[in-house]
Amino acid sequence: MIHYFIAAIQYSLTAFMLISLCYGAAACLGIPGARKRLDTGAAAGALFALTLAVLRRTTAINRGMVNTPVLMVSIIAALCLIPLVWGVGASRFPRAHAALFRWSGALFAGTLAASSMPSLFLLPSEFILAGQSVFSTEFLLKSTGALGGASLALLLGLALFRSVRNRRKAVLRTAFTLMAAANLASQAAAVFQFLMARRVIPLIRGLFRLVMAAVNHEAVFRYACIIAALILPGALLAGALSRSAPQGGNPAETRKMRAALLRDRRRGALAIGGLALALASLTALNAWDRREVTLSPAEPMTVAGEEIIIPLERVEDGRLHRFAWNAQGGVEVRFIVIKKNAAAYGVGLDACDICGSTGYYERRDEVICRLCDVVMNKSTIGFKGGCNPVPLAYTVRQGAMIVQIGDLEREKSRFH
**Rounded Cα–Cα distance for residues 43 and 48 (Å):** 9
Give 156's contacts (C-beta < 8 A, 6+ positions apart). 13, 16, 17, 229, 271, 274, 275, 278
State the DSSP H helix or E strand holding residue 102, giving kind and residue range, or none if neither: helix 94-127
**171, 232 in Cβ contact below 8 A?**
yes
pTM of the model: 0.74
Name the residue among 168, 140, 180 with its Cα closest to residue 20: 180
Structure confidence at residue 104 (pLDDT): 95
What is the set of domains in the chain, with CATH numbers? 2-289 (no CATH), 302-415 (2.102.10.10)
What whole-number distance in Å separates Cα of residue 126 and Cα of residue 130?
Answer: 8
Element counts in the chain: helices (H) and strands (E): 12, 9
17 membership: H or E segment, kind and range: helix 2-29
Could you tell me where the DSSP H helices lie in 281-369? 286-289
Q: Torsions phi, psi of 361, nearest 5?
A: -140, 170
Give the pLDDT score at 380. Answer: 80
Q: Long-range contacts: 364-372, Cβ < 8 Å, 24+?
A: 365/318, 367/320, 367/336, 367/338, 369/130, 370/293, 370/295, 372/126, 372/129
> Are 384 and 391 contacting, i.e. CB atoms less than 8 angstroms apart?
yes
Q: What one-character DSSP code corresponds to residue 129?
A: T
Give me the pLDDT at residue 66, please.
85
The Cα 332–Cα 152 span in angstroms is: 44
Exposed, middle or buried by CB within 10 Å (0-12, 13-18, 19+), for 242? exposed
| Neighbouring C-beta atoms of residue 27, cutoff 10 Å | 16
Taking Cα atoms as reference points, which of 213, 214, 193 lies closest to residue 203?
193
Identify the segments of the chain with pLDDT beneath 50.
130
Q: How far is CA 173 from CA 11, 30, 113, in A?
A: 24, 14, 22
Instruction: Give one DSSP letter per residue of 252-293, joined into a string.
Output: HHHHHHHHHHHHHHHHHHHHHHHHHHHHHIIIIIHHHHTPPP
Q: What is the pLDDT of residue 90?
A: 82
